[in-house]
Structure 1
């Protein structure tokens, strides 16, 4: 039996997170040179997945304009509300143009959530089952929040996980590297080139 293709989880590549004029820019200041490097790496990941015809699941975080669906007990999300960030229907909640899903692409899907893990409150698990995805390649911002939370939940759900580290970033470089080290307990941590070099086969 042929091995199922991996699915790529592209997390929070949104204007408020990555654009120079974004309200959050988690780990990527407007003048930070690593910002361009991250966007380029994420672009290579998406391009490689498209070339390989691997499913891409674009996950965004977005709240009602009045933030009635924002979990106030979570400081990281409460801060988004304080900044007026990622309001559904506004520019900030939209995907960064360079990393946006392709319209009418049968291999690309968009999910929206309001928590930390991409699995929380979304049909991500059901969609991965429908796609017969037994392995996921995860990348996004921020490394120590949505990425690590999603990686750990994916591993707990029986998926083999690869993290494309150069397509991830965090507010603090030390936090980014600590999170990558922690995820090595449950996932393969490599770069975009390494993630794309895999043929999707797992033992």
Structure 2
């Protein structure tokens, strides 16, 4: 595998949080246009990243059906168990079909974790070393939980971090924007135009 400077980290693009029939759905109504906007933005991000040969790490969260591997010290985790969501092998824990990984590509990886921060207790750091990533383009749902938690860890670990804002979502626009504002201290926040320019400046 050839070294890469930039890697895309795609967080929780799973049925449970993005499909209208999901149990979590990041607080969006089943017919919310925000959902399709996020799906389209993330799909376009994947297309551009693949065209540029960037590695993509697809991060999923999933637990045993008995939740024996779920620490219930946080309200959000207790809520996952209470809603019987994100169990391993279930439809809800699978990637949304529009944002499924290309499992035949040597440039795409799948990482599973069980906490807020995608680095914690997962092989994400090891995968990023394999592809020699120094800069991370991070996106996912929800903006104020897994995205912000992962961005904070990545910044502390020394990565240059960018956030693809159009491919992120939270329970409300206010929460989403507050998280982006908070992360702007540690990462470059890219709107749609800036994200397109970012890819335009990469070799394809």
Query: Within 1, Cα distance between the matches of 2:192 and 2:124?
Result: 22
Does 1:102 find its partner at 2:102? yes
Query: Within 2, Cα distance between the matches of 1:127 and 1:187?
Result: 21
Query: Within 2, Cα distance between the matches of 1:52 and 1:196?
Result: 12
C-alpha distance 192-102 of structure 1, shift in aligned 2 (>3 A): farther
Aligned counterpart, 2:149: 149
Aligned counterpart, 1:90: 90
Give CA deviations for 1:163-203 in whole Å, capped at 9, x if unaligned: 000100001221110000000000000125523533469xx
Partners of 2:4 and 2:54 within 8 A in 1: no
Aligned counterpart, 2:195: 195
Query: Within 1, Cα distance between the matches of 2:196 and 2:124?
Result: 21
Query: Within 2, Cα distance between the matches of 1:159 and 1:192?
Result: 22
Partners of 2:4 and 2:55 within 8 A in 1: no
The number of residue pairs the alignment matches comes to 199
Partners of 1:9 and 1:137 within 8 A in 2: yes
In the TM superposition, structure 1's runs of 4+ consecutive aligned residues that sit over 2 Å from their partners are 191-201
Partners of 1:6 and 1:133 within 8 A in 2: yes
Aligned counterpart, 1:179: 179
C-alpha distance 124-200 of structure 1, shift in aligned 2 (>3 A): farther
Aligned counterpart, 2:51: 51
Aligned counterpart, 1:120: 120
TM-score (norm 2): 0.93
Partners of 1:27 and 1:169 within 8 A in 2: no
Which piece of structure 1 moves more, 185-194 or 60-69?
185-194
Gaps of 5+ in 1: none
C-alpha distance 171-34 of structure 1, shift in aligned 2 (>3 A): same
Gaps of 5+ in 2: none
